[in-house]
Amino acid sequence: MAKISSIHIIFFVFITSGIADSATVFTLLNSCPYTVWPGTLSGNSVTLGDGGFPLTPGASVQLTAPTGWSGRFWARTGCNFDASGHGTCVTGDCGGVLKCTGGGVPPATLAEFTVGSSNAGMDFYDVSLVDGYNVKMGIKPQGGFGNCKYAGCVSDINEICPSELRIMDPNSGSIAACKSACAAFNSPEFCCTGAHATPQTCSPTYYSSMFKNACPSAYSYAYDDASSTFTCTGSNYLITFCPTQS
The model's confidence at residue 45, banded by pLDDT at 50, 70 and 90, is confident
Mean pLDDT of 100-123: 90
Percent with pLDDT over 90 in the chain: 78
Mean pLDDT of 205-215: 95
Q: Give the SS3 label for residue 39.
A: strand
Chain centroid to CA 19: how far? 25
Question: How confident is the prediction for the chain on average, in pLDDT?
Answer: 89
Residue 205 within a domain: yes
Residue 51 has phi, psi (to 5 degrees) of 95, -20
Residue 17 has pLDDT above 60, yes or no: no
pLDDT value for 120 = 72
Identity of the residue numbered 233: T
pLDDT value for 169 = 93
Interatomic CA distance for residues 183 and 171, integer angstroms: 23
Residue 117 has pLDDT above 80, yes or no: no
Q: What angle do CA 129, 43, 148 make, to 5 degrees?
A: 60
Residue 233 within a domain: yes
Q: Give the residue with greater pLDDT, 156 vs 2.
A: 156
Interatomic CA distance for residues 97 and 73, integer angstroms: 16
Residue 246 within a domain: no
Count of the separate structural domains present in the chain: 1
Domain with 140, as residue range(s), is: 6-241
Mean pLDDT of 191-202: 93
Residue 238 has pLDDT above 70, yes or no: yes
39 and 28 Cβ atoms separated by less than 8 Å: no
Q: How many CA atoms lie within 13 A of 204 on its CB side?
A: 14
What CATH number is associated with residue 233? Answer: 2.60.110.10
87 and 80 Cβ atoms separated by less than 8 Å: yes
pLDDT value for 27 = 98
The model's confidence at residue 206, banded by pLDDT at 50, 70 and 90, is very high
- Tens digits of per-residue pLDDT, 153-183? 999 999 999 999 999 999 889 999 999 999 9
Of 210, 213, 152, the C-alpha closest to 181 is: 210
Residue 158 within a domain: yes
pLDDT value for 16 = 36
The model's confidence at residue 118, banded by pLDDT at 50, 70 and 90, is low
Interatomic CA distance for residues 58 and 15, integer angstroms: 34
Residue 75 has pLDDT above 90, yes or no: yes
DSSP string, 78-98: S-EE-TTSBEE-SBS--SSBS
pLDDT value for 21 = 53
Query: Among positive and negative, which fits the CA dihedral 67, 13, 97, 90?
Result: positive
Residue 1 within a domain: no
Range name among 127-141, 157-171, 177-191, 224-238 with the lowest pLDDT average: 224-238
